[in-house]
């Protein structure tokens, strides 16, 4: 009886460890793809960031006026 419980415990632990290893490998792959994408499209990223500056400042101004109104 005790041996069966130990075997079940080991089976569950092995499955859990495999799942964790798979998640770590998948996470590292996504990180690598993200770095490659940043390097590949760096110029486009800067172009989008420059385009967002105006919208960001507009939103910050609206929020500041809403806070000052109170």
CB-CB contact of 49 with 56 (8 Å) = no
Q: Look at the pTM and tell me if it is higher than 0.75.
A: no
Percent of the residues in the chain that have a pLDDT greater than 70, as a whole number? 83
What's the rounded Cα separation, in Å, for the pair 15 and 10? 9
Residue 2 clears pLDDT 60, i.e. is over it: no
Q: How many domains does the chain have?
A: 1
pLDDT in tens, 19-36: 899 999 999 999 999 999
Residue 1 clears pLDDT 70, i.e. is over it: no
Range of the domain at 20: 2-69
Residue 1 per-residue DSSP state: -
CA dihedral of residues 40, 43, 48, 49 (deg, nearest 10):
110
Q: Which residues, in sequence order, are CB contacts of 38 under 8 Å at separation 6+? A: 45
């Amino acid at each position: 009886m005790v041996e069966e419980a130990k075997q079940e415990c080991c089976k569950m632990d092995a499955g859990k460890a495999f799942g964790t290893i798979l998640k770590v490998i998948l996470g590292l792959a996504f990180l690598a793809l993200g770095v490659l994408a940043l390097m590949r499209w760096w110029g486009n990223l800067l172009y989008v960031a420059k385009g967002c500056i105006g919208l960001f400042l507009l939103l910050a101004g609206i929020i500041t006026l809403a806070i000052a109104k109170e």
